Amino acid sequence: MGLFDRLFGHKGKADEPVEDVSVEEFDDLPGEAPAPPGRQPVLRIEIDRQSCTGMAECVRIAPQVFALDEENMAIVVDASAATREQLLRAARECPTQAIRLYELDGTQVYPDWM
């Protein structure tokens, strides 16, 4: 029985117990696995939540790095999942310039005018 069926497909009677499903059973779902050992972020990413309007350009450009949260604001889900070029493109194409990029030593990379 698949995950969907286990969670939503129970067709028993209302008073029958449903099998418990623990989160630990699904640690290997796509998009949920931790970064492979040794993979490090190429840049530190900050999102200015006061500026973000949820246009999702960052998600379109680097969906493995960015997602929208329950408030429709950009969040970083895996800073190590994109190249430097993808991160720079996502930051440059953010319509509100809400993405800040820093070298791992703290030097600001984008925007470079701040």
Domain boundaries, the chain: 3-34+41-110
pLDDT in tens, the chain (114 residues): 454 455 455 555 555 554 544 444 444 443 334 445 566 789 999 999 999 999 999 999 999 999 999 999 999 999 999 999 999 999 999 999 999 999 999 999 999 875
Cis bond upstream, residue 17 (ω within 30): no
Q: What's residue 88's pLDDT? A: 97
Q: What's residue 113's pLDDT? A: 72
Q: What topology is assigned to 3-34+41-110 in CATH?
A: Alpha-Beta Plaits (3.30.70)
Encode 59-83: b = buried (16+ Cβ within 10 Å), e = exposed: bebbeebbbeeeeebbbbbbbebbe
